[in-house]
Amino acid sequence: MTFAPLRTRRWPSPPDPLGRAAGPTGTAIGVTALAILAVVALQGGYYGSVLVLGIAYAIVTVGMAVQIGYSHQLAFSQSVFMGMGAYGVALLNTRYGWPVLLTLPVVVLGSGLVGTAVGSVVTRAPGLALALATVLFPIPVTTYVTYSDYLGSYTGIGGIAPLWTGDSASDSLIRSGIAAALLLGLCVFAGGRILRSGIGLELAVSSDERSAGALGIRTGRRRLELFVLGSMLAALGGAVFAGTQTVVSSDLFSQVSELTLLVMLFVGGRRSLVGAVVGAIGIEYLAGSATFINTHLLIIEGVLLTVVLLFEPGGLAAIAVGAGRRLLGPTSVHAGPGPQGPVRSLASAGLVRSGRAEGLGSGEDVPALVCRGVSRRFGGLVAVDEVSLEIPGRGLYGICGPNGAGKSTLLELIAGGLRLDAGQVLVEGRDVSRWSAAERARHGVARTFQTVRLIPHLSALDNVAVACLRSHRTWMVEAIARSRLEEARERAHAALARVGSAHLATADPGRLTLEGQRMVELARAVAAGPKLLLLDEPASGLSGDQRGRLRELLLSLGTEVTVVVVEHDLELLASIAQRLFVLINGRLRFQGDGEGFRRSELVRSELMGLVEGSYAADRSR
């Protein structure tokens, strides 16, 4: 059951347009500079301490923006990790006399380890279960802390040294605030780099498990990495909290503080790093102001959250950008979501036929695809029944059959979308029967879907670029250091050009015609330079002209790579495929070339219905 409203309006929620305009470095420097200026200007007074507290929370919400805002990984465990960081600093400093600055890396790495251990369990759970299981975390932890004398039970731990000690209390506060601002800038930079790298694209895709699998994205590992990243930033925020407030108590762990963090993130803008910072500092400022606002804080937070949810899911960040755009007129900042840098010159890559495809299917002696006794049943229905077929290499191969014959199921079994009940699938000699869809994709199996599956808020180019990302193979740390997004976009451009659709690069796939969407999906499939290209009904819904263009395209693709097409358009298949396979009731009933196909009695009776009665006879069998 999904949340299906009667009318869904697509929101052009701009993810971090501010950040995109300035770039990760610019944004980080801007945030740091403003924060330091404000800390110094407030002179270590009361509002100075409120601001520093806000900065500590902002470090946590920046991690949440990446984890929750971009990857839709709703975990309610941030307050626990924040408390862990704070208590870690408190213990190491007060009990063992470590200087606070020295405790930071220890605490952050320690939380990273705990986050890895916890995350490797919880991130396997589906979305709702993850949210529910983490909702429970704060309760036992709070209980434990309040019962533990070692952790100061109810009163917590006080007397923690400041992050950076100065001559007086207010001087210490200013210095600690500057240190906190620098750390915040670092976090914003890291977050910005991640979102700007290919991982930003992967995160956009990961909401659609099937597409992500077909593109070879290791969603499991990405989810874990994000969980760990969120935990580490939360711990850092907690550490800064301890090093600037000098007192920690078990309240930090509580569900109330988790809910406050979520309000900060949502009100500020959950898809914007700058918004997350503004939200945290803004809410902390409201909470710290000793006026009407403070006493009515819960009401104000609730109303703000409601308004944001109702009218601008992008939060204050999106409102500010919208207002700015209205005032300044259109700027170079695109509203299309997803990390979207400028596309560099394509001359070098643009006309090259999709890179690796050239050399593929090279080992002609090893068959490109072998199915041996492949079977799959759904309950009592045997959808695919011991199908064995062999596809030697480069060229076009067709699979056809009446509705419900098991064609698409067979394709899914080859692509890895469904598990085999029996039999083997070999791709270029490797037995991939037990591999996941993502592993097969990385081995060179690319596919399109019967109903087009593109990611709505990404441009066509980025939809294709996801397939070219090498970051599938890299750790997130590498993505921070070095982004290969531009390279992927260049390859994507080449792939779009390959299918004759370079002009669609900047289009929103939701607004393309069906043909356009199919072409973008096809480009996505060829972009990675596959060994085996599986197309599920590429011609369905296309007009005669469009089918003609598709025919030419398929013919030329067939000269470079092994293409398997499932199709209802028998004439199209018979005229282009060098070998055709006919499935009927899950069984392989015919294989042969186009000429044999046209003459086959079986095909004439079963597929074209030229002999009456035989269809019914076959059904009753």
Partner 1 sequence: MTEFGNLVLSGLTSGAIYAVLAVCLALWFRVANMLNLAAGDFAMIGALGVDLLARVHGWNLALAILAVLVVIALVGFAYDFVVLRIAVDWGRAQEGIVAIFFFTFALSFVLEGIAQQVFGTVVHAAPALWPGNALDLHGLHVQRAGVLVIGFAVVVGIGLALCLRFTLVGKAMAACGENPIGARIVGIDNRRFRRAIFVLTAVLAGVFGILGSPITGFVYNSGAGLGLSGVVAAAFAGFTRPGRAVVAGLSIGLLESFLSGYVNTAYGETLLYGVLAAVMLFRPQLMGLPEVAQ
User: Contact residues for partner 1 (CB under 8 A)?
Assistant: 1-9, 72, 74, 121-122, 124-129, 131-133, 135-137, 139-140, 143-144, 147, 207, 255-256, 259, 262-263, 266, 295-303, 305-306, 309-311, 313
201, 41 Cβ separation under 8 angstroms: no
Position 61, amino acid:
T
Give the span between the Cα atoms of 181 and 330, in whole angstroms. Answer: 32
CB of 114 to partner 1, least distance (A): 15
User: Quick check: helix, strand or coil at residue 390?
Assistant: strand
CB of 6 to partner 1, least distance (A): 6
Closer to partner 1 by CB, 119 or 198: give it.
119
Closer to partner 1 by CB, 298 or 347: give it.
298
CB of 310 to partner 1, least distance (A): 5
Picking from 312, 333, 357, 30, the residue whose alpha carbon sits closest to that of residue 189 is 30
CB of 49 to partner 1, least distance (A): 24
CA distances to 91, 421, 494, 520 from 353, in Å? 60, 38, 7, 16
Give the span between the Cα atoms of 88 and 78, in whole angstroms. Answer: 15
CB of 13 to partner 1, least distance (A): 10
Closer to partner 1 by CB, 297 or 366: give it.
297
CB of 363 to partner 1, least distance (A): 41
Closer to partner 1 by CB, 138 or 538: give it.
138
Annotate 311-328 with DSSP letters as a single string: H-TTHHHHHHHHHHHHHH
Closer to partner 1 by CB, 52 or 300: give it.
300
Closer to partner 1 by CB, 207 or 605: give it.
207
Position 399, amino acid:
I
Give the span between the Cα atoms of 608 and 574, in whole angstroms. Answer: 13
CB-based burial of residue 49 (10 Å sphere; 0-12 exposed, 13-18 middle, 19+ buried)? buried
CB of 308 to partner 1, least distance (A): 9
Give the span between the Cα atoms of 503 and 321, in whole angstroms. Answer: 29
Closer to partner 1 by CB, 294 or 556: give it.
294
| Phi (first) and psi of residue 313, to 5 degrees | -55, -20
Residues, the chain: 621
DSSP-H helix ranges across 216-336: 219-245, 255-268, 273-288, 292-295, 297-311, 315-328
CB of 595 to partner 1, least distance (A): 47
CB of 71 to partner 1, least distance (A): 9
Give the span between the Cα atoms of 347 and 350, in whole angstroms. Answer: 5
384, 586 Cβ separation under 8 angstroms: yes
Position 576, amino acid:
I
Closer to partner 1 by CB, 140 or 429: give it.
140
Beta strand 532-536 pairing with 562-566:
parallel
Give the span between the Cα atoms of 21 and 434, in whole angstroms. Answer: 45
Closer to partner 1 by CB, 124 or 482: give it.
124
Give the span between the Cα atoms of 313 and 317, in whole angstroms. Answer: 10
Closer to partner 1 by CB, 107 or 466: give it.
466
What the block records as the tokens of 27 is 């944004």
CB of 275 to partner 1, least distance (A): 15
Closer to partner 1 by CB, 182 or 305: give it.
305
Closer to partner 1 by CB, 148 or 331: give it.
148
Picking from 240, 519, 223, 561, the residue whose alpha carbon sits closest to that of residue 369 is 561
Picking from 576, 491, 550, the residue whose alpha carbon sits closest to that of residue 526 is 491
| Phi (first) and psi of residue 82, to 5 degrees | -60, -45
CB of 217 to partner 1, least distance (A): 15
Closer to partner 1 by CB, 451 or 543: give it.
451
Picking from 576, 562, 582, 567, the residue whose alpha carbon sits closest to that of residue 537 is 567
The 3-class secondary structure across 470-526, one letter per residue, is HHHHCCHHHHHHCCCHHHHHHHHHHHHHHCCCHHHCCCCHHHCCHHHHHHHHHHHHH
CB of 287 to partner 1, least distance (A): 12
The single-letter DSSP state of residue 352 is S
CB of 151 to partner 1, least distance (A): 14
CB of 424 to partner 1, least distance (A): 29
Closer to partner 1 by CB, 182 or 259: give it.
259
Backbone dihedral region of 609: left (phi > 0), alpha (psi from -120 to 50 degrees) or beta? left
Closer to partner 1 by CB, 263 or 479: give it.
263
Give the span between the Cα atoms of 76 and 64, in whole angstroms. Answer: 10
Position 187, amino acid:
C
- How many of the other CB atoms lie within 10 Å of CB of 46? 11
